Structure formats: structure tokens, C-alpha cells
């Protein structure tokens, strides 16, 4: 009989690529993870993990078992959801990890809605960058992630997750007020190829969006200034330090002294925001209302994002 707890450990090793990182994510010691893997290998009669200088990787047998692991763990999530529904009274805590803008735009309004429609549900919020919250869901550190599409993000067909689209928004060009293109109604990204740029640090999903937009326009941006705070990005542009692409929602309420904001010509780079839970958990009587409230808040935000800056 295969122990489902050991399957979670196998998946964590596959996700994190080292025993040490998997142990940290699961709040276990590396030796405990190694012992559980050894026990799982004994249960299955196959070597499942190979360790080397570059970390740990699954063997062919391990990959086969991982495919079944995703199905088994999703079914266990569904079982927990049905048992929770059976026990009636919807009351409990749901932990949601979200990036700062997502907290303000969709999570806070969702909590306001839940206070009226499902007062027994308490939402606990953790601030996490747009690419950090999904691994937290997979590692069972949180129940729900509000995340941003990024290079390498789990796709919509990932068997470990159920995703709910929330909203998408364009990036707008932020230029110093005396910039040569400041008088135009729209700005082509290609026309900014020779400018110094201001943008988020590598690892921030918005960094990927900006870099890919520039690459699509035929150049690599010369990023001279870096900040993950878009208020700082706008302030630097206002000081004449460079140009930037900023998500439209991040510009609301930001002091725009010294800058102009223009829509991007053609197909604008876009930030896509979604909620994610472990597959099978979407029907849980505590989680389902949270997803519905996030979806409703996301639909409102989608409408606001469609307006010109």
C-alpha cells in the first residue's frame, strides 16, 4: 500500500529539484524527506529519485508514479471537500497568497463581499510576489493563490491545479514629460529602443512582460534602474531617468508629476491575473465562495482596465 503522504513528498522533490528545497517547503528535515523517499521506493519496488551534483531528478519509474500522484492527490482534495460539505456549517479559515496589487484590486473587494455573503469564512492574507504564490499552493502552505502569468508558470492544463481567470490589463508607456514622444496619442514600443529603461527586477513577472514586449519589438531594453514598486518607477520617469511600461491598474492614484502616460500602439503587453487552487479543492465549501468572490471582483477590474489611462 502506497502512503499518500509520501506521494506529496515525491511531488515536492519533483517541483523543487532538490531534497533540501523540498524539505524546506514541507517544513521537514532533509533526512526526514530522504527517509520517506526510501520508504516509498520500498513500497513500490522501484528506484524513484536519482541524486547528483545538480540536485535530484525523478527516474522513469518516478515520472510514472508522479503522473498517478497528481490524480491521487486531486482526488483526495475532492474527498476532503465533500466531507467538509457533508459536515454542513460553512465556517473556517482560507489562506490566500497574493501580490500587493492583486490584494488591493480583487482580494480586498472579495473579502468585503464575503463578509456579507459568507460571514463564517475568515480569509487570512499573505503578501507574495506574482510568481511565488502558486508554489505555495502546491506545497500546501496556502489554500488559494492570486498570481500573474509569467515565463515558466504552470499552464492551464497542469494536472496539479485548477485555475480561475480573474482579469487582464494592458501595460501603458510612462514617459518623462519632455520626452520626444510625449505629444503622441499612442507610443510604439519599438520607438523606445534607444532610451534608458526603468523596470522591475528579474524574477518579477512584470519584468518578463516588459522584456518580452521589447524583444518582440526587436530590441533588448537597457534597464538602468530597477524597482518592484511602480510608484518609484513613475517617480524615476518623472525625474527624467528613463522610460517604463507599467500595468494600467498600478498607475491609479500614483503621483504623475513630470510624466505622461500613453497607451501602447498595436497589441499592448498584458498582465494576466488568475486564482489557483490544488486540483480537486475548487469544490471545497470554504474555498468555492472565495473563488466566486474573487471572480466577481476580477470581472469588475477587467472593466476598469479596459478604460484608457
Is residue 298 scored above 70 in pLDDT? yes
Decide if 4-83 and 168-270 have a common fold: no
Q: What is the pLDDT of residues 149-173, one digit of tens each?
A: 877 778 888 889 999 999 999 999 9
Domain boundaries, the chain: 4-83, 89-166+272-306, 168-270
Query: What digits encode the pLDDT tens for the residues 47-76?
Result: 888 887 778 888 888 888 888 888 878 888
Distance between CA atoms of 150 and 128, rounded to whole angstroms?
A: 14
Domain boundaries 89-166+272-306, CATH class: alpha beta
> Which has the minimum average pLDDT: 100-109, 145-154, 262-271?
145-154
Q: What pLDDT is attached to residue 64?
A: 86
Q: CATH classification of 168-270, choosing from 3.30.1490.20, 3.40.50.620, 3.40.190.10, 3.40.640.10? A: 3.40.190.10
Instruction: Give 119-154 pLDDT, tens digit per residue.
Output: 888 999 999 987 789 999 998 999 999 999 877 778
Does the 4-83 domain belong in CATH 1.20.120.80? Answer: no
Rg (CA), the chain: 22
pLDDT at 88: 54
Amino acid at each position: 500500500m502506497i502512503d499518500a503522504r509520501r506521494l506529496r513528498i515525491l511531488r515536492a522533490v519533483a517541483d523543487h529539484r532538490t531534497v533540501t528545497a523540498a524539505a524546506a517547503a514541507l517544513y521537514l528535515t532533509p533526512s526526514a524527506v530522504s527517509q520517506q523517499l526510501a520508504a516509498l521506493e520500498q513500497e513500490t519496488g522501484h528506484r524513484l529519485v536519482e541524486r547528483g551534483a545538480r540536485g535530484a531528478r525523478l527516474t522513469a519509474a518516478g515520472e510514472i508514479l508522479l503522473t498517478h500522484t497528481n490524480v491521487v492527490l486531486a482526488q483526495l482534495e475532492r474527498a476532503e471537500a465533500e466531507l467538509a460539505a457533508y459536515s454542513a456549517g460553512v465556517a473556517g479559515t482560507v489562506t490566500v497568497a497574493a501580490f500587493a496589487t492583486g490584494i488591493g484590486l480583487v482580494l480586498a473587494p472579495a473579502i468585503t463581499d464575503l463578509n456579507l455573503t459568507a460571514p463564517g469564512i475568515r480569509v487570512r492574507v499573505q503578501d507574495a510576489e506574482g510568481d511565488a504564490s502558486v508554489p505555495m499552493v502546491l506545497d500546501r502552505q496556502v489554500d488559494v493563490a492570486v498570481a500573474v502569468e509569467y515565463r515558466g508558470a504552470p499552464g492551464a492544463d497542469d494536472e496539479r491545479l485548477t485555475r480561475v481567470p480573474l482579469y487582464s490589463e494592458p501595460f501603458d508607456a510612462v514617459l518623462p514629460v519632455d520626452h520626444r514622444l510625449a505629444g503622441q496619442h499612442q507610443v510604439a514600443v519599438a520607438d523606445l529602443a534607444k532610451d534608458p529603461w526603468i523596470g522591475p527586477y528579474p524574477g518579477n513577472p512584470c519584468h518578463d512582460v516588459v522584456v518580452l514586449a521589447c524583444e518582440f519589438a526587436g530590441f533588448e531594453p537597457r534597464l538602468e534602474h530597477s524597482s518592484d514598486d511602480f510608484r518609484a518607477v513613475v517617480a524615476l520617469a518623472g525625474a527624467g531617468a528613463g522610460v517604463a511600461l507599467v500595468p494600467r491598474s498600478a498607475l491609479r492614484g500614483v503621483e504623475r508629476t513630470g510624466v505622461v502616460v500613453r497607451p501602447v500602439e498595436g497589441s499592448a503587453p498584458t498582465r494576466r491575473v488568475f486564482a489557483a487552487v490544488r486540483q480537486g479543492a475548487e469544490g471545497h465549501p470554504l474555498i468555492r465562495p472565495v473563488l466566486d468572490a474573487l471572480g466577481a471582483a476580477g470581472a469588475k477590474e477587467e472593466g476598469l482596465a479596459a478604460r484608457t489611462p
